[in-house]
Structure 1
Amino acid sequence: YQLPDQQFANLYWFRYDWFNDQKTKDDFKAKYGYDLGVPINWSAYEDIAEFFTGRDMSYMGGPTAVFGNMDYGKKDPSLGWRYTDAWMSMAGMGDKGEPNGLPVDEWGVRVDENSRPVGSCVARGGATNDAAAVYAVTKAIDWLQKYSPPSAAGMVFGEAGPVPAQGEIAQQMFWYTAFTADMVKPGLPVMNEDGTPKWRMAPSPHGAYWSEGTKVGYQDVGAWTLMKSTPVDRAQAAWLYAQFVTSKTVDMKKSDVGLTFTRQSTIDSQHFTDRAPKLGGLIEFYRSPARVAWSPTGTNIPDYPKMAQLWWQNIGDAMSGEKTPQEALDALCAEQEKVLARLEKAGVQGDIGPKLNEEQDPQVWLDAPGAPVAKLENEKPAGETIAYDELIKSWQK
């Protein structure tokens, strides 16, 4: 049995007060030729990051120099989540499909018509080391180095999460809603005196390789999981307790404190209608049709623990400059295929386990439709933005 008990999504976070200030808007438009707003694509995110980095926001009561991006880059398990948890698909790596790309998912792993994993490198039809993946990692490193606090490169997930609340960050593309509770405490530089936040959250922008129908974001879903091997008396006790902690009244209280919802009834409650103005768009997001597009890791990944650890180790090599993004991703896809090959040889997953394709000239796969893809001539199309208030209206429709 499984019973969901928490979830959070990764979204875009930004300083709504700065973005709505007339002088700031005028200065941005004068420099870039389009309106400052929630970025729809990575080009606009990059322009906004450049615009705010080093900018004196003291005319709005802010610091004399702010940063246009926040992220983390330390070689640590949490660096892996940052990429497997949909950064690559946000860039446009992988195929279209809901809840995950098919046949190539957001880890770059291809499956055959029987859902058996067949490869991760381009030579076997995977996309973990294709041009979209290289672009995804390259952009993250560039923005971390150019537009983020110098300390960010040495931070892990938990250390980086609270930094925007300190009031020096203009926007963050990859921000987890699990940090909302820490962001709405009275007295923070990002809170108004009336208890409303100076910031908002919105869908993250997508990269140059992205097209409609490709995965846009990740939702982390935790559940009470009772294994078949659990002794019956213990399973019954655990099942009773799991039902208690996910019951309506307990979920309401738990969600009120931690803001990681389990029940639709909690999201739809009058209590959260009343709290919504103080939560920066969280309730609007969870009530919107957009939220179904944020999904967990899919079934292309046959051994999550073994494969997930390969990501932070290899991406860490790119972050530190030890390897280029291409070299790091070539190593990553080869190591993912070693895991798939071991599972295939062991045969423990039977007729749903991996069955690796023979390697071919990568061009064969690049010429075929869908993922993997070849390098685009222009990886920075024109920036596009949308006014936050228009975005919220579109969700409500």
Structure 2
Amino acid sequence: LSQGNVAQQIFWYTAFLADMVKPKSEGNNTVDDEGNLLWRMAPSPHGPYWKEGQKIGYQDVGSWTILKSTPADRAKAAWLYAQFVVSKTVSLKKSHVGLTLIRDSDIRHQSFTDRAPKLGGWVEFYRSPDRVAWSPTGINVPDYPKLAQIWWQQIGDVNSGAFTPQQAMDRLAEEMDITMARMQAADESAKVYGGCGPRLNEPKDPAEWLGKPNGPKAKLENEKPKGETIVYEELIKRWTTQ
């Protein structure tokens, strides 16, 4: 991205940001000679099925895990290290270097107020309530490797023209249900997933779900209405006044 060959990037990790704000002398072609950004961040666009209050995207959220089997002396050392890493002084320094936040106090620090004009709207966004519209991914994928391989196969078949997107999504749903049913059986019989494996509902007619207040929506006649935009300066103003 920092080479300047991409006009618009719809998928964005905050981990990308550090390279995008480096000086031009370090090979960053997305800033001018004075280090001013030649780009800005904006919220993800949404389609016609979205309504106010729904999430717009997701954020990967990390965490610390200490296994029960870890020897006590190592667990204590790991716990001390974790406390060190998330402490206010270390976290603030890390946030400035990597531009990946873990503490609300970091983004509200005066040093980020001073740096905000050079970060393309990132500070304003994370200080606003809008940030919760990009919800954490959570831990709801019961076996990522098993399910991911099914997903990628469908993408390949759509790209090759072997299936339409609808055919691929229908097949994806069916194959994921079959796989998760096997996972459920293994978990119920031998606690393969520690008792936390998937538990599937009985299949129902789509009509039972469509039209429910918070359920999936039936296909719209017009899935591509005229697009609407917002003036960027107005958007930033909304972030800073909330």
TM-score (norm. length: structure 2): 0.86
Residue 237 of structure 1, CA deviation: 0.8
d(CA) in 2 for partners of 1:239, 1:352: 26
Unaligned runs of 5+ in 2: none
Among 349, 372, 382, which residue is 2:226 paired with?
382
Q: 1:207 to 1:280 in 2, by over 3 A?
A: same
Amino acid corresponding to residue 30 of structure 2 in structure 1: V
d(CA) in 1 for partners of 2:109, 2:211: 51
Residue 207 of structure 1, CA deviation: 0.9
**Aligned residue number for residue 240 of structure 2:** 396
Matched position secondary structure for 2:57: coil
Q: Deviations over 1:250-305 (max 9, x none)?
A: 22222222111122222111211111111111111111111122122245533334
Query: Does the alignment pair 1:354 with 2:198?
Result: yes
Contact 1:196 1:279 in 2 (8 A): no
**Aligned residue number for residue 171 of structure 1:** 8
Correspondence list, 1:198-217, <5 A = 198-217=38-57
Q: 1:368 to 1:269 in 2, by over 3 A?
A: closer
d(CA) in 1 for partners of 2:160, 2:19: 30
d(CA) in 1 for partners of 2:21, 2:182: 47
Correspondence list, 1:327-342, <5 A = 327-342=167-182
d(CA) in 1 for partners of 2:224, 2:77: 56
Residue 336 of structure 1, CA deviation: 1.4
Contact 1:173 1:204 in 2 (8 A): yes
Among 117, 120, 135, which residue is 1:277 paired with?
117
Among 243, 253, 264, which residue is 2:83 paired with?
243
Amino acid corresponding to residue 238 of structure 2 in structure 1: S
Residue 353 of structure 1, CA deviation: 4.5
Percentage of identical aligned residues: 65
d(CA) in 2 for partners of 1:194, 1:304: 44
TM-score (norm. length: structure 1): 0.54
Q: Deviations over 1:22-41 (max 9, x none)?
A: xxxxxxxxxxxxxxxxxxxx
d(CA) in 1 for partners of 2:136, 2:52: 19
What is the aligned residue count?
234
Amino acid corresponding to residue 46 of structure 2 in structure 1: H
Residue 366 of structure 1, CA deviation: 3.4
**Aligned residue number for residue 197 of structure 1:** 37
d(CA) in 1 for partners of 2:3, 2:137: 32
Q: Deviations over 1:136-165 (max 9, x none)?
A: xxxxxxxxxxxxxxxxxxxxxxxxxx2xx3
Residue 352 of structure 1, CA deviation: 6.0
d(CA) in 2 for partners of 1:262, 1:232: 27
Among 289, 304, 307, which residue is 2:144 paired with?
304
Tell me the C-alpha RMSD between the 2 structures: 2.3
Q: Deviations over 1:305-344 (max 9, x none)?
A: 4323432232233234332212221221122112320122
Among 62, 65, 75, which residue is 1:222 paired with?
62
d(CA) in 1 for partners of 2:183, 2:96: 43
Query: Does the alignment pair 1:256 with 2:93?
Result: no
**Aligned residue number for residue 18 of structure 2:** 181
Q: 1:283 to 1:324 in 2, by over 3 A?
A: same
d(CA) in 1 for partners of 2:12, 2:51: 22
d(CA) in 1 for partners of 2:212, 2:234: 38
Q: Please state which structure has a larger fraction of its residues in strand.
A: 1
